[in-house]
């Protein structure tokens, strides 16, 4: 044992020395995107092993697949796209390290983030470094260019999603022949992400004459949401809006069925996906959701066909795969237009192009995405979907929040 210990000690010393050398040598891979045949570099961080890895992984696969597909289509005027990406496991310090590494050493031009924590943390840096940034955090604070000139939102904000969902709910209530106004409740992730849209949602609801909705946080890691549901049931809610990820949402839906509580669940985008259907099983039938990225549209079909062709395993989460694919395609459209306009590829030029290029077509996955210099919320409307026979099916046309 002692000999093992001593040998181990020497191996570790050598490993540590190697770390220093490798870390010193490993930096500085390749120059910038200046020369005309150099690949165009895009930075991205993904959650593949952390708290949100269940949706982070298909999103990541979608983004990587898009870049591969685009390169197979010839890249941008013959120039290849190169995605520099790594897992950050939802740890903000690691996100910051990777961002700095990709920007300083790999010299990426644009960046694709993921969660609220890292998007918030990187906000001042991307403004300073002039790096156009998209992410999967649809918080309303990211839409205002006066505060965050380099953040671009490619889906309706959580606030908008909630208002759209409420509009649908009011129409649905009336269509069922009820008079008066329905009662609403929120069942949310117990975190700032969960609370993000509530203020705007409540303002909208009260303006329509609905009682202030009951706000019920669902504890992270709970194995049973029956206590929360009994409170909502006794409050008399007709519609429960879920701002949460799929696992707790599925649990809520199953518990409600167990409880015999007949209520309409409405999911915002992070639980309106195939993972919810997988986990809630038959109980998911009839659940309505906001699905900003329509995987059945032409653009979605291209993405899914490519995935099938290349045998990409994204765990069956079609809509999240298409979400990642489409989000990155919007950013790349900006790069393409900047080059087509003959401008030099810098972050600032790409930002200006995105703001002025007009509508970006996503082949039906979303309404054409349009940014402006006063508004970076590219999409303000979405369709409502419902789970029918184990699939998400569109049930309305595009509803807008404003």
Partner 1 sequence: MDRFIQLALSGIANGAIFALVALGFVLIYKSSDVINFAQGELLLIGAYLTYAMVEQFGLWWPAGVVLAVVLAAVAGVLIEQLVLRPMIGEPAISVIMVTIGLSSLLRAIVGAIWGVTPRPAPQFLPTDTVTILGANVGVDRIWAFGLAITLFVILTLFFRYSRDGIAMRAVADDQQAALSMGISVKKVWAVAWAIAAITAAVGGILLMSIFGGVSGTIARVGLIVFPVVILGGLDSIPGAIIGGLIIGLLQSFAGGYLPPEWGVGEVVPFIILLFILLVRPYGLFGQRIIERV
Partner 2 sequence: MQSGTFHTTYASDVSLRPYWPQRMRIVLVLVAVLIFPWFADRYWLNLANTIAIAAIGAIGLNILVGYTGQISIGHGGFLAVGAYTAGLLAVHLGTPMWLTIPIASFFTAAVGAFFGLPSLRLKGLYLAIATLASQEIIIWLLTHGKLLGIGESLSLPRATNNLFGLPMEWLGNNDFAFYWVCLAFLILTVIFVSNLFRTRTGRAFVAIRDQDIAAQVIGVDLFRYKLLAFATSSFFAGLAGALTAHYRGVISWERFTIETSILYLAMIIIGGLGSVSGSIYGAAFMILLPAFLSNMARTLSGVVPDINSYLPYIQQGAFGLAIILFLIFEPEGIVKMWRNVKDYFRLWPFSY
Query: Looking at 22-30, 149-157, 322-330, 369-377, which segment touches partner 2 (CB under 8 A)?
Result: 22-30
Secondary structure element (H or E) that encloses residue 242, with its range: strand 239-243
Q: Judged by CB, which is closer to partner 1: 148, or 269?
A: 269
The 3-state DSSP class for residue 188 equals strand
CB closer to partner 2 out of 97 and 361: 97
Q: Binder to partner 1 among 317, 327, 328, 384 (CB under 8 A)?
A: 317
Q: Which stretch binds partner 2 (CB under 8 A): 10-18, 35-43, 296-304, 387-395?
A: 10-18
Q: Contact between 150 and partner 2 (CB under 8 A)?
A: no
Q: In this structure, what token pair is assigned to residue 91?
A: 């740890």
- Shortest distance, position 149 Cβ to partner 1, whole Å: 34
| Residue closer to partner 2 (CB basis): 8 or 368 | 8
| Choice from 247, 346, 370, 396 touching partner 1 (CB under 8 A) | 247
> Which partner, partner 2, partner 1, none, binds residue 257 by CB below 5 to 8 Å per kind?
partner 1
Which CB sits closer to partner 2, 136 or 387?
136
Picking from 236, 224, 135, the residue whose alpha carbon sits closest to that of residue 180 is: 236
- Residue entry with tokens 């949310």: 188
From partner 2, partner 1, none, which one binds at residue 100 (CB under 5 to 8 Å depending on kind)?
partner 2
Which does residue 278 bind out of partner 1, partner 2, none, counting CB within 5 to 8 angstroms by kind? partner 1
The correct pick among 226, 346, 352, 381 for binding partner 1 (CB under 8 A) is: 226
- Nearest alpha-carbon partner for 187 in 126, 255, 119, 131: 255
Q: Which residues in 253-282 contact partner 2 (CB under 8 A)?
A: none
Among the candidate windows 313-321, 331-339, 340-348, 372-380, which touches partner 1 by CB under 8 A? Answer: 313-321
Select the span of 38-46, 127-135, 255-263, 374-382 touching partner 1 (CB under 8 A). Answer: 255-263
CB of 246 to partner 1, least distance (A): 7
The window from 71-79, 84-92, 267-275, 297-305 that contacts partner 2 (CB under 8 A) reads 84-92
Residue 292 in contact with residue 366, Cβ under 8 Å? Answer: yes
- From partner 1, partner 2, none, which one binds at residue 228 (CB under 5 to 8 Å depending on kind)? partner 1
> To the nearest whole angstrom, how small is the minimum distance from the Cβ of residue 84 to partner 2?
10
With contact defined as beta carbons under 8 Å apart, do 186 and 201 qualify?
yes
β-strand partners of 185: 214, 240
97 binds partner 2 (CB under 8 A): yes
Q: Is 358 in the site for partner 1 (CB under 8 A)?
A: no
Q: Which residue(s) pair with 42 in the sheet? A: 83, 110
Residue 62 sits in the site that holds partner 1 (CB under 8 A):
no
Residues with Cβ within 8 Å of 89's Cβ and at least 6 positions away in sequence, in order, are 47, 48, 49, 50, 53
Q: Are 287 and 253 in contact (CB under 8 A)?
A: yes
Comparing CA positions, the residue from 361, 147, 155 lying closest to residue 268 is: 155
Hey, how many other C-beta atoms are within 10 angstroms of the C-beta on 383? 18
Q: Does 53 bind partner 1 (CB under 8 A)?
A: yes
Q: Which of 126, 170, 205, 250 binds partner 1 (CB under 8 A)?
A: 250
How many CA atoms does the CB half-sphere of 347 hold within 13 Å? Answer: 24
Whether the CB-CB separation of 168 and 400 falls below 8 Å is answered with no
In DSSP terms, which residues pair with 87 in a beta bridge?
46
Contact call for residues 304 and 69 (beta carbons, < 8 A): no
Question: Going edge to edge, which strands form the sheet with 151-152?
Answer: 81-87, 40-46, 110-112, 133-134, 151-152
Cβ contact 244:221 at 8 Å: no
Q: Which residues bind partner 1 (CB under 8 A)?
A: 48-49, 53-54, 56-58, 190, 214-228, 230-231, 234, 246-247, 250-251, 254, 257-260, 275, 278-282, 313-317
């Amino acid at each position: 044992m002692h000999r093992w210990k001593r040998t181990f000690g020497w191996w570790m010393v050598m490993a540590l020395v190697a770390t220093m050398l490798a870390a010193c040598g490993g930096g500085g891979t390749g120059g910038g995107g200046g020369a005309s045949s150099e690949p165009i570099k895009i930075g991205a961080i993904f959650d593949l092993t952390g708290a949100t890895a269940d949706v982070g992984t298909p999103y990541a696969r979608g983004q990587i697949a898009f870049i591969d597909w685009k390169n197979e289509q010839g890249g941008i005027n013959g120039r290849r796209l190169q995605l520099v990406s790594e897992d950050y496991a939802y740890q903000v310090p690691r996100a910051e390290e990777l961002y700095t590494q990709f920007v300083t050493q790999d010299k990426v031009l644009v960046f694709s983030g993921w969660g609220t924590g890292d998007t918030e943390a990187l906000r001042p840096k991307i403004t300073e470094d002039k790096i156009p940034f998209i992410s999967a955090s649809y918080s309303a604070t990211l839409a205002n260019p006066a505060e965050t000139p380099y953040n671009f939102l490619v889906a309706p904000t959580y606030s908008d999603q909630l208002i759209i969902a409420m509009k649908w709910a009011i129409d649905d209530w009336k269509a069922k022949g009820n008079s008066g106004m329905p009662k609403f409740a929120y069942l949310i992730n117990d975190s700032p992400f969960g609370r993000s849209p509530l203020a705007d949602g409540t303002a909208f609801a009260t303006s329509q004459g609905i009682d202030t909705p009951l706000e019920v946080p669902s504890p992270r890691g709970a194995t049973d949401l029956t206590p929360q549901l009994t409170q909502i049931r006794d409050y008399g809610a007709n519609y429960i809006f879920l701002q949460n990820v799929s696992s707790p949402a599925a649990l809520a839906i199953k518990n409600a069925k167990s409880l015999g509580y007949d209520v309409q669940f409405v999911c915002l985008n992070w639980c309106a996906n195939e993972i919810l259907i997988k986990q809630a099983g038959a109980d998911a039938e009839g659940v309505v959701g906001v699905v900003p990225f329509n995987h059945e549209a032409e653009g979605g079909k291209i993405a899914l066909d490519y995935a099938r062709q290349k045998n990409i395993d994204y765990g069956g989460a079609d809509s999240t795969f298409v979400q990642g694919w489409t989000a990155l395609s919007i950013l790349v459209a900006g790069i393409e237009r900047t080059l087509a306009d003959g401008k030099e590829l810098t972050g600032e030029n790409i930002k200006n192009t995105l703001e002025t290029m007009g509508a970006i077509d996503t082949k039906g996955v979303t309404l054409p995405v349009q940014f402006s210099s006063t508004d970076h919320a590219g999409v303000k409307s979405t369709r409502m979907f419902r789970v029918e026979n184990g699939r998400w099916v569109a049930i309305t046309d595009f509803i807008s929040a404003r």
